[in-house]
Amino acid sequence: MEDLFSLLRIDSQSAKGKGAEAAKFLVDYMKNKGIEAEEIRHKSVNPYVVGELNVGAAKTLLIYNHYDIQPVEPLERWETDPLTPTIKEGKVIARGVADDKGALMARLESVISLYKEGKLKVNLKFLYEGEEEIGSPYMASFLTDNAKRLKANYVLWEGAGKGPNGAPQIVLGVKGLIYVEIRTETPKDLHSMYAPVARNPVWELLNFLNELRGEDGKVKIPGFYDDVVVPPSVEGLYASKLGIDMKTVERALGYRVGDDFLVKLVRDPTCNIDGIQAGYVGEGSKTVIPSSAFVKIDFRLVPRQRAKDLLAKLREMVDRKGFKMMVLGEVEPFRTCEDSEISKALIESAKETYFVEPLVLPNSPGTGPMASVSNMLGIRQIADGVGPDNPESNIHSFNEFIYKRDYDLCKEWMTNFLRRLGSQA
Amino acid sequence: MEDLFSLLRIDSQSAKGKGAEAAKFLVDYMKNKGIEAEEIRHKSVNPYVVGELNVGAAKTLLIYNHYDIQPVEPLERWETDPLTPTIKEGKVIARGVADDKGALMARLESVISLYKEGKLKVNLKFLYEGEEEIGSPYMASFLTDNAKRLKANYVLWEGAGKGPNGAPQIVLGVKGLIYVEIRTETPKDLHSMYAPVARNPVWELLNFLNELRGEDGKVKIPGFYDDVVVPPSVEGLYASKLGIDMKTVERALGYRVGDDFLVKLVRDPTCNIDGIQAGYVGEGSKTVIPSSAFVKIDFRLVPRQRAKDLLAKLREMVDRKGFKMMVLGEVEPFRTCEDSEISKALIESAKETYFVEPLVLPNSPGTGPMASVSNMLGIRQIADGVGPDNPESNIHSFNEFIYKRDYDLCKEWMTNFLRRLGSQA
C-alpha cells in the first residue's frame, strides 16, 4: 500500500486551495507505469488529471475519481494525524482514505497489474478531479470543453463501497435535485396589534408551503408524480430481505424506521425544508408582524422526473403568489438499467470477489451530476461500485478509515470487473 | 407649562435605571400643592409614587400614569435635545412629552386648579409608576400588596390622546394576549437524502400551525370564538363614517387596507406568528433535515374570551403532538361598558371640550393589564382618555412631540371630566 500511503500524505484540502501536489504525484505515477497522463488547468485552481490507456480494445471505460479531500478539522477529535496514514487493528486511518483516494489507488493498481500481465481487454480513460469536495464548480464546463477527449462507452463513478447490509454496493443512478429559496415581503415590521388587518408574510409563506406538500408528504406540484418510474427491483430492498441490522440504521438516524426504509430512500421523490426564518427569534417575546419570511427547500427527484419542467411549474406557483424565488440547485436524475453491460459486469464481478449477492440500488438516495456527464459525453452506461469504504468509514468526519482487507478486496473486485467488462465488450 | 418642562428635563429612562429623581420631583410637587404623596419602594428600582386627595366625596377616581420614559436613542435623529423641551411651530418636543409626562402633568394641573377653587367633587388617588417602559415587572405584586390603599370606584388609564380621525379618543378596554413559544425536536440534523423516511420538525410544526389557523385567518382552537362579544358600537367604526384619512393609515401600515380596518382592529381576535426559525438560514444552499424548529406566536383576545381557558386548550393540542410549549405572556381582555359613569363622563366632557364626537373604542387593538388591575383592586370601571398626544406624536421614536394647544385642551378636558364625574357620583 506504499503508493496509497504516499498519496494520503499529500495535503489536498481543496477548501484551502491545496491539491496541485497530489495532481503532480498522480501524473508522475501514471506516466511511470506506462499510462499517458497530463494535468489540465481549466478555470479551476486544482488541475484536472486526465489519462488514457489504449489497448486497442473495442470499448472504452472512463474511470472517475477525485484526489481532493475534505478539511481535516476538528483536529483534536482525530486519534491519529489525519495526514499520516496509520494502520491500527486492521484499519487504515487517514483523511481521504475512504473518500476518495482509496478507491482511486486500488483501481489504478489493479489496472496496472492487468496491463502488465497483458490481460486488459478494455481501453481506459481516467478523469481525476481536484475540486469535488467544494462542489465541482467547473466540472460541467470542463466536460463540455473536453467531451471528445473523454469519449467512452462506460463511466465508473467514484466508488460505492459496502452497503448497509455489509455486501458490496452497486449504484446504478442518482436522484435529481431542485434547491430553491422562496421569499415574501411587506414594506415594514408592524406591531402585532395590527394582525386583524395586516398581511403576515409568515402565514402567507406557510399557506403556500401547505399547497406545495400534503401532510402525507406528497408533493402537490401539478404532475409531480407523472413521470416517476419505479424499478421492480426495489421490491428486493426490504431490510429483512437483505439482512440489514435495523439497529445500525436507528443509530444513524436517531430513531427507528420501518423495514421498507431502503425501498423508500430509493423510490420516493421528496420535498424537504432545509431552513426557514422570519421575525423575532431571540430570547423572550416581541409582539411583531414580521416584514419578511424565507424558506429553503430541496426536492429530490427520481428518474424520469425532469428537474427543468418541475422547476418551471414550481415557478408558476410561486409567481401566482407574488413571491420571489432564487434557484440554488438544479440536477437531473439519472439511472442506468440493470442489464446494461457495465451493470452486469459490476454485479457478476462483485459475486465472484465477495461470494455474496451485491446490494444493487437502482439509484442512490443522494444526488450527483451523472445526468450531465451522460449528456455531455454522450454515455448512457454510468454506474458506481468498486470502492473500499463501508457505511461507518466516517466520510467527511474525523477518524476516517477503511479496513485494510477491504482495500485488497477492492483491488480484486476491480480486476474481476475489468476482466468481465472486457469479455462482454 | 413650567412644571411640565421641569419634569421633562429630568432623565427617567427606566431601561437605564433612571427615575428616582422624577419620583422625588413629583412627590415634592404634589405635597407643595396640598396633595398627600409618598414614594413607595417595592421590589422595583424606581419607586411607585402614590398620592391621595380626599375631598369627602362619595366616589373616588384613581389616576394612573407613568413617569419613566423610553431610551432617547438614536440621538442623531433628534432635531432637538430630547431632554431639553423645546417649543417650535406650536409643538412641544421632548422625550416623554406624549408618553406619558404630558398627560400626567396636564391632569395634575387641572386637579390642582379645581381643588384650589373648591370645585373638586370626587376624591382622587394617584398612582405613578416608574417602570412601565420596561414592562411593569412588579406592578401586579405592588397592586396586590397595596390593594386597600388604592381602592377606588374608577380608574383613569394613562391617556389615549387623539384618534386616527383627529377626534379625542376614549378607549374602554384592552385586548388580552397569549404569547407562546412552541418547539419540536429530533435527535440530530440529517442529510436531506433521508427525507423519504426521516421526520422533519419543520414540516411537523407547519402542519400543526395549519391545524391552529385556517387560510382565512380563523383560529381553530376548539371553542375559540364561543365567548367573543361584539359590541354593537363597532358598526360606527367604519373609516368613511369617521372621516378617517385612509392615506394616513396606508402610510402607517405600508399598504392600503379596507374601510372596515378599525372595526376589525377592535373586534377580531387573532393568531399572529411573531417569529419562526429552523435549519440552515445562511447564504446559499445546505441540504439538511433540521433537528429542531420553533415558532413564537401571539394571540390577541377580545372580551369575553378567557386567556386561561384558551391556553389550556392550546396546551392540549401541543401536547398531543409531543411538542414543547413555553408561555411568555398571558393577559386577560377587559372592557368597561359604554354607559358606565366613567364612560359617560369621558364622552360628555370630550364633546364639551372639543365640540366634536369623540372616537370611542370599546377596546384598544392592543393589550394592557386592565383586567388584573380590575381584579386586584375590585374596580369595574376602567377607561382611557384625557391625553395630549396625537397619532403622529412619535411615541417610542425620535422627535416625540405634542401640540402645545393639545396640552391646554387636555387640561380643559380633565377639568370637564372631573366636574362631570363628580356630579354623576
Q: Residues B34-43: pLDDT tens digits?
A: 999 999 998 8
Q: Residues A232-264: pLDDT tens digits?
A: 999 999 999 999 999 989 988 899 999 999 999
Closest Cα in chain A, distance from residue B387 (Å): 21
Position A136 confidence tier, pLDDT thresholds 50, 70, 90: confident
Task: Respond yes or no on whether the N-terminal peptide bond of residue A137 is cis (omega within 30° of 0).
Answer: no
Q: How far apart are CA A385 and CA A169, in angstroms?
A: 6
Cβ atoms of B311 and B327 within 8 Å: the answer is yes
Mean pLDDT of B133-161: 93
Q: Which residue has the cell 423610553?
A: B70
Percent of chain B predicted with pLDDT > 90: 90
Q: Indicate yes or no: CB of B272 within 8 angstroms of CB of A200.
A: yes
Q: Residues B155-166: pLDDT tens digits?
A: 999 999 999 999
Axis-axis angle for helices A201-212, B201-212 (nearest 10): 110
Of A87-101, A127-141, B78-92, B256-270, the poorest mean pLDDT is in A127-141
Pairing of strands A91-93, A401-403: antiparallel
For A176-228+269-331, which CATH class? alpha beta
The residue among A193, A210, A255, A289 with the most chain B CBs within 10 A of its CB, best to mutate, is: A193
With beta carbons under 8 A apart, name residues in chain A contacting B321.
Answer: none
Residue of A nearest to B290 (CA): A274
Position A74 confidence tier, pLDDT thresholds 50, 70, 90: confident
Q: Which residue has the cell 378567557?
A: B306
Cβ atoms of B32 and B20 within 8 Å: the answer is no
Domain A2-174+334-424 falls in which CATH fold? Aminopeptidase (3.40.630)
pLDDT for the residue numbered A425 = 56
Q: Residues B348-379: pLDDT tens digits?
A: 999 999 999 999 999 999 998 899 899 999 99
Question: Is the predicted pLDDT of residue A44 greater than 90, yes or no?
Answer: no
Show Cβ contacts of residue B15 under 8 Å, excluding neighbours closer than 6 positions. B70, B71, B133, B134
Question: Is the predicted pLDDT of residue B230 greater than 70, yes or no?
Answer: yes
CATH 3.30.70.360 intervals, chain B = 176-228+269-331
Q: Indicate yes or no: CB of B272 within 8 angstroms of CB of A192.
A: yes
Mean pLDDT of A4-21: 96
Q: What CA dihedral angle connects A210, A211, A217 and A220, to 10 degrees?
A: -170
With beta carbons under 8 A apart, name residues in chain B contacting A272.
Answer: 192, 195, 200, 287, 289
Question: Is the predicted pLDDT of residue B425 greater than 70, yes or no?
Answer: no
Q: Residues A51-64: pLDDT tens digits?
A: 999 999 999 999 99
Q: Residues B186-219: pLDDT tens digits?
A: 999 999 999 999 999 999 999 999 999 999 999 9
The residue among A175, A184, A206, A210 with the most chain B CBs within 10 A of its CB, best to mutate, is: A206
Cβ-nearest to A273 among B200, B272, B294: B200
Q: Residues A376-418: pLDDT tens digits?
A: 999 999 999 999 999 899 998 899 999 999 999 999 999 999 9
CATH 3.40.630.10 intervals, chain B = 2-174+334-424
Q: How far apart are CA A45 and CA A41, in angstroms?
A: 8
Show Cβ contacts of residue B96 under 8 Å, excluding neighbours closer than 6 positions. B8, B12, B69, B70, B102, B400
Q: Residues A179-196: pLDDT tens digits?
A: 999 999 999 999 999 999
Cβ-nearest to B206 among A209, A268, A270: A209
Residue type, B205: L
With beta carbons under 8 A apart, name residues in chain A contacting B250.
Answer: none
Inter-chain Cβ pairs, chain A and chain B, closer than 8 A: 204
Question: Is the predicted pLDDT of residue A108 greater than 90, yes or no?
Answer: yes
Question: Is the predicted pLDDT of residue A326 greater than 70, yes or no?
Answer: yes
Q: Indicate yes or no: CB of A285 within 8 angstroms of CB of B329.
A: yes
Show Cβ contacts of residue A171 under 8 Å, excluding neighbours closer than 6 positions. A157, A160, A360, A361, A363, A364, A383, A384, A385
Interface TM-score (ipTM) > 0.90: yes
The residue among B206, B208, B225, B294 with the most chain A CBs within 10 A of its CB, best to mutate, is: B206
* Sheet strand arrangement including B60-66: B36-40, B48-53, B123-129, B60-66, B154-156, B381-383
Show Cβ contacts of residue A334 under 8 Å, excluding neighbours closer than 6 positions. A173, A174, A176, A303, A363, A370, A371, A374, A382
